[in-house]
């Protein structure tokens, strides 16, 4: 399977220009014979939208850009991020997986960071599920940025049988350590390494770059294989086009060697979780 | 507090480049005092935009900071950027001849705002975006003139403490003379920031780093070896200067008020 990760800097609030970016890079991925092209979180709109959210929201069934991307997906599977008006007046930070001319799945961001410089909870409605779905490449789960930093959410994809976990992100860099990267880049890599290894699954992370209101999106997109080994990594801060072929048989090989999936105990975890939640004090 | 020179340079030059492109500017303009911060900012601007797209205004008042003005010219010449000396003595003297005062802070603030006014005027004349040079230490302590030296379109240095700017300056290869310079707001001759604050930048930066970046409590900062009085002084300076870091409050009347619930990004449609 050939994957193209598009590490771009979308235009804030300008769907038309961003749509053109999507066309350009999808074409480039197609030329390289990629099976899947991945764009970052809110790739169609930019990230720091605030009150622009309602102006750039789309209804997938009715939107013309969506329709065109669906048509394009007959030749190459596409993942991208957009603002979705799922119900009247409710706006979601969503990720779409398009393939064979159809919408295979839409994930709506569950963990909306709302602290410090993050204000997503002020402008977006919260998604409610982490679902594993079938794709031409195998069972897949999608997450958006902060979702991935919840190991509970990662577990749901693992328990749901995901073999490929794809995260689209708009993660700003923060913290300096004297190293040639933001401190937070290490955090994303650590999670990628751990989740891929202990889920014996591919973890594919597509982040963006560029500045919005002073925030520098840190790039550093990557692919970890089911052994927890880094197979590809994009540059920090710079735009990049990461093209990588992965061997899906590695999932089987890793799962024969490491029995994390075979030995998982979702029933026990579920019952224990129920007890924990029941025992919450008022 | 150690920074990686090449990484921070990359972040800041990319920022300058991108912001100018977003707002459709090719050129940047800045006030060059001959001190460390504005010199570092000039170096970054040149790396981001090229010498021919950077304009420095050197704005001395009489001969008060003669050496700094000379250093500023040296920096400008070394960077091969356009520069211009605009002497503010005439305007400032004209004003104070009518409204005299002995208050050094009032005089210093007026000078800072005179420079701001000239900088904005030249920004329009030259179609150049104004780069600010206020560092994180100054911004947090409120050690700047509101609508004076704090005024700018973008401020590349605003998240670096003074000691970090010195590290960056070293990395960028600034002349030793500039790197070693005693920081001064240039409000009056003989003034030094450290003298006025009663703290060295090394101390202030460490305390600020703990309080702000690491969110340490006062107790924890005391435990790490700083005197309570110094910490209290810093905390009170931060609190009393919050107004300089904010847009002025607007009393709410309507359903949607600017700054409260009319919320758009700075980079709106950019």
Query: If pLDDT is split at 50, 70 and 90, which confidence band does A281 have?
Result: confident
pLDDT confidence of residue A145:
98
Contact across the interface for B265 and A213, Cβ inside 8 Å: yes
Contact across the interface for A211 and B267, Cβ inside 8 Å: yes
d(CA B138, CA B161): 8
Token couple for B154: 């973008």
Token couple for B131: 């780069």
Contact across the interface for A176 and B269, Cβ inside 8 Å: no
pLDDT digits (tens, 9 = 90+) for B223-252: 999 999 999 999 999 999 999 999 999 999
DSSP letters for A33-63: T-SEEE--TTTTT-S--GGGHHHH-B-TTT-
pLDDT digits (tens, 9 = 90+) for B176-223: 999 998 888 777 777 787 887 788 999 999 999 999 999 999 999 999
Tokens 């979705």 label which residue? Answer: A84
CA angle A41, A43, A48 (to 5 degrees): 75
**CB-closest option in B4, B6, B266 to A213:** B266
Q: Say if residues A36 and A69 touch (Cβ distance below 8 Å).
A: no
- Chain B closest CA to A65's CA: distance in Å? 19
How many Å from the N-terminal Cα to the C-terminal Cα in chain A?
A: 50
Asked if pLDDT for residue B104 goes beyond 80, the answer is yes
Token couple for B237: 């300076």
CB pairs under 8 A between A and B: 60
Contact across the interface for A212 and B19, Cβ inside 8 Å: no
d(CA A72, CA B206): 55
pLDDT digits (tens, 9 = 90+) for B258-268: 999 999 999 88
Q: Say if residues B237 and B141 touch (Cβ distance below 8 Å).
A: yes
pTM (predicted TM-score)? 0.95
Contact across the interface for B4 and A237, Cβ inside 8 Å: no
- Chain A closest CA to B4's CA: distance in Å? 4
- Chain A closest CA to B1's CA: distance in Å? 7
DSSP letters for A13-26: T-HHHHHHHHHHHH
**CB-closest option in A13, A14, A216 to B15:** A216
Contact across the interface for A211 and B14, Cβ inside 8 Å: yes
Chain B neighbors of A214, CB-CB under 8 A: 15, 266
pLDDT digits (tens, 9 = 90+) for B108-162: 999 999 999 999 999 999 999 999 999 999 999 999 999 999 999 999 999 999 9
d(CA A219, CA B76): 34
Contact across the interface for A180 and B19, Cβ inside 8 Å: no
CA dihedral A126, A132, A137, A143 (to 10 degrees): 30
């Amino acid at each position: 399977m050939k994957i193209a990760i598009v590490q771009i800097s979308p235009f804030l609030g300008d769907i038309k220009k961003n749509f053109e970016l999507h066309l350009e890079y999808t074409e480039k991925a197609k030329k390289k014979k990629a099976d899947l092209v991945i764009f970052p979180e809110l790739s169609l709109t930019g990230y720091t939208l605030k009150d622009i959210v309602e102006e750039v929201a789309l209804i997938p069934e009715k939107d013309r850009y969506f329709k065109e991307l669906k048509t394009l997906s007959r030749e190459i599977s596409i993942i991208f991020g957009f603002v979705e008006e799922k119900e009247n007046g409710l706006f979601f930070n969503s990720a779409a997986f398009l393939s064979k001319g159809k919408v295979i799945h839409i994930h709506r961001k569950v963990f909306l960071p709302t602290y410090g410089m993050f204000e997503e909870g002020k402008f977006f409605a919260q998604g409610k599920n982490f679902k594993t779905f079938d794709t031409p490449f195998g069972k897949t789960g999608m997450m958006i940025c902060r979702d991935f930093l919840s190991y509970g959410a990662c577990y749901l994809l693992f328990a749901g049988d995901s073999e490929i976990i794809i995260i689209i992100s708009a993660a700003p860099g923060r913290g300096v350590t004297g190293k040639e990267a933001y401190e937070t880049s290490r955090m994303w890599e650590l999670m990628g390494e751990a989740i891929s290894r202990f889920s014996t699954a591919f973890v594919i992370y597509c982040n963006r770059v560029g500045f919005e209101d002073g925030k520098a999106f840190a790039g550093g997109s990557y692919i970890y294989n089911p052994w927890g080994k880094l197979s590809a990594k994009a540059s920090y801060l710079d735009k990049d086009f990461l093209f990588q072929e992965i061997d899906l048989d590695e999932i089987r090989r890793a799962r024969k060697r490491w029995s994390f999936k075979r030995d998982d105990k979702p029933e026990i975890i579920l019952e224990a979780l129920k007890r924990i939640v029941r025992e919450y004090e008022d | 507090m150690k920074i990686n020179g090449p990484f921070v340079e990359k972040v800041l030059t990319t920022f300058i480049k991108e912001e100018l492109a977003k707002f459709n500017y090719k050129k940047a303009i800045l006030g060059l005092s001959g001190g460390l911060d504005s010199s570092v900012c000039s170096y970054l601007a040149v790396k981001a935009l090229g010498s021919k797209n950077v304009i420095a205004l050197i704005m001395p008042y009489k001969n008060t900071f003669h050496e700094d003005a000379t250093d500023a010219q040296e920096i400008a010449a070394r960077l091969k950027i356009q520069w211009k000396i605009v002497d503010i003595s005439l305007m400032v003297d004209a004003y104070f001849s009518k409204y005299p005062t002995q208050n050094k802070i009032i005089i210093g603030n007026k000078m800072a705002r005179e420079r701001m006014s000239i900088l904005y005027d030249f920004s329009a004349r030259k179609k150049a975006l104004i780069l600010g040079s206020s560092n994180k230490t100054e911004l947090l302590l409120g050690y700047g003139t509101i609508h004076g030296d704090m005024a700018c379109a973008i401020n590349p240095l605003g998240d670096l403490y003074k000691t970090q700017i010195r590290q960056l300056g070293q990395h960028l290869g600034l002349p030793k003379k500039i790197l070693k310079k005693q920081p001064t707001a240039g409000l009056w001759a003989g003034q030094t920031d450290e003298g006025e604050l009663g703290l060295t930048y090394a101390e202030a930066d460490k305390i600020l780093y703990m309080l702000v970046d690491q969110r340490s409590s006062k107790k924890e900062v005391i435990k790490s070896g700083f005197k309570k009085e110094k910490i209290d002084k810093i905390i009170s300076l931060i609190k009393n200067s919050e107004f300089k870091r904010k847009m002025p409050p607007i009393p709410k009347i309507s359903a949607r008020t600017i700054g409260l619930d009319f919320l758009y990004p700075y980079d709106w449609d950019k």
